[in-house]
Amino acid sequence: FLDYLAMPKDDPALAEELVKGIVDGCEQAGCSLTGGETAILPDFYAPGDFDMAGFAVGVVERDDAIDGTHIQPGDAVLGLASTGLHSNGYSLARKIVFDHAKLGVNDHVPELGKTVGEELLTPTRIYVRPVQAVLQHYPVKKRVVRGLAHITGGGIVDNVPRILPPNRRVFVKRGSWPIPPVFPWLQRLGNVAQSEMDRVFNGGIGFVMVVGAYYADSIRDRLAKDGVPAFAIGEVREGEPGVEWVD
């Protein structure tokens, strides 16, 4: 992992706090922090502002890559629980919370049991170690795990189709997993259509695994032991690549 930090002036205390967070994330992912860049740009950033980015690089043997090629009708679709917004949909969330509802970061929201700031700053769950544990138990060459999708911007409807081979369609059952309260809260507060919620937010599912149906329950149990709730949210059928919601 490499990081980039830009600030209007040198601020060692802030930089230390930010890098500490990166280190925590790298430890959760079993990833090395191999370097980074810090830029001081007083003419570009206002006082108190900073810009931070990073990227990870990994290597995998071609035969061990899980690229969705082996997804087939009848496969189970497992959804791994998110911890909240997961760093996506914040443009809409800020518009709803701060511009429309006129709330502040320190305002307490009873239905969330926390302040606005605490909810919006909930860390993103990192799935690396739990998913790797599954892959170590079911080696890639056995083709038990056939597809992996990180549910980021675009939600389930935009991210899952990226891993589907031709003539494979995913049917997702609404109500098959618990929805974190932040999502209905935002939907009600901003009067947001369900179709937009589906395309902007993860809806409580931060990662999707497509697996052989026979192994679905044992994989869910293994993930639960690592502290990640996983739900059977759908199945694969023949059809045009995409996601279809069913009630």
Residue spans of the domains in the chain: they are 2-55, 66-246
- Asked whether the domain spanning 66-246 has the same topology as the one spanning 2-55, the reply is no
Residue type, 35: G
Greatest distance between any 2 Cα atoms in the chain:
59
What's the CATH code, domain 66-246?
A: 3.90.650.10
What confidence score (pLDDT) does residue 221 get? 97
Which CA distances in Å does 53 have to 17, 36, 204? 15, 10, 24
What confidence score (pLDDT) does residue 26 get? 96
What confidence score (pLDDT) does residue 27 get? 96
pLDDT along the chain (247 residues), means of 10: 96 94 95 94 95 93 93 98 96 97 97 97 96 91 93 96 97 97 98 97 98 97 97 98 95
What's the CATH code, domain 2-55?
A: 3.30.1330.10
